[in-house]
Amino acid sequence: MSQHHTALVHTMVLVSAADREMTDAEMTTIGEIVSHLPVFADYDLERLPKEAQACAELLSEDNGLEKVLSQIVAGLPEKLKETAYAIALDVAAADGKASQEELRLLEMLRHRLAVGRLPAAAIERGARARYTRL
């Protein structure tokens, strides 16, 4: 079981659960990300439901948000921190709207992952371009 995979899955679940409603679109996006991104090439897709459930359980504990954020930061090597932020944005954008809770969480995540303002703006612009609808 690799820490970086767990940290990335928990990042996506955290964003999806931010507004207390994990939508079908968000869950589909998480599945697609895990199925298609190169960073998950050696990930066993059958682990996804258990890891998502473990994250949800951790979030429900006292100080759960802080525990999950700390676990995410600790589990990611430096070179995957921007990747984590990018997939967090993809999950937030998946259902066509980002709630205030999701936006606050994304800002918190950006700071905890130490993603600079310019790289964050570029990543956000890419997510907006990918998820724009007519």
Domains, the chain, ordered by start: 3-131 (1.10.3680)
Report phi then psi at 51, rounded to 5: -70, -35
What is the sign, positive or negative, of the torsion defined by CA atoms of 109, 113, 115, 116? positive
Sheet strands (E) in the chain:
none
pLDDT in tens, 41-75: 999 999 999 999 999 999 999 999 999 999 999 99
Matching residue, tokens 């990300």: 33
Length of the chain: 134
Cβ atoms of 25 and 69 within 8 Å: the answer is no
Q: Maximum Cα–Cα distance for the chain, whole Å? A: 42
- Strand, helix or coil at 116? coil
pLDDT in tens, 93-117: 887 777 788 899 999 999 999 999 9
| Global pTM exceeds 0.75 | yes
